Amino acid sequence: MWYSAGEQYEPNAIGYAESSDGISWKKYAENPIFQADPKIEWEKHKAAGCQVFQKDGYFYMFYIGYHDEDYAQIGMARSKDGIRNWERSELNPIIAPDEGFDKSACYKPFTIFWDGKWMLWYNGRNGAPEQIGLAFHEGRDFEF
């Protein structure tokens, strides 16, 4: 299981845990397994809220990167083992705020492959209430 955790009230990094029964979990000793890179402007504040799946020999992660406490965008990374050596996509951020309903933040990604394309749902915010956006990627492959 991949999860968001951090200091005080807000998650600021991504951890990993395993379970043989889905009830008792053991956290990975070297958590966090993924955190914001302070050299990358769009995600320098924190990284959280991921979805991970396995495809073609890699674990792919869609995650939220925060430029500051409020401005969020969605990025993608991959790893051979799903724990170490995450490689960020050169296309990051793959979903960024626009002038519409998601002007302030794009976050909480959820992705599926269906009918020959990737579909990514996300929450968008420009004040209240939050709304849900949908983005598409044609074909099976991602660019790294």
| Stretch 33-44: mean pLDDT | 97
108: left (phi over 0), alpha (psi -120 to 50) or beta: left
71 pLDDT more than 80 = yes
Report DSSP letters for 100-128, one per residue.
STTSSEEEEEEEEEETTEEEEEEEEESSS
Instruction: Provide the terminal-to-terminal Cα distance of the chain, rounded to the nearest Å.
Output: 24
For residue 127, the model assigns a pLDDT of: 83
Of 50-54, 62-66, 114-118, 119-123, least confident by mean pLDDT is: 114-118
For residue 9, the model assigns a pLDDT of: 64
Torsions phi, psi for 94 (to 5 deg): -80, -25
Q: Give tens-digit pLDDT for 77-91.
A: 999 999 999 999 999
Q: Give tens-digit pLDDT for 93-142.
A: 999 999 999 999 999 999 998 888 999 999 999 987 899 999 999 877 78
49 vs 64: CA distance, rounded Å: 6
Name the pTM for this structure: 0.92
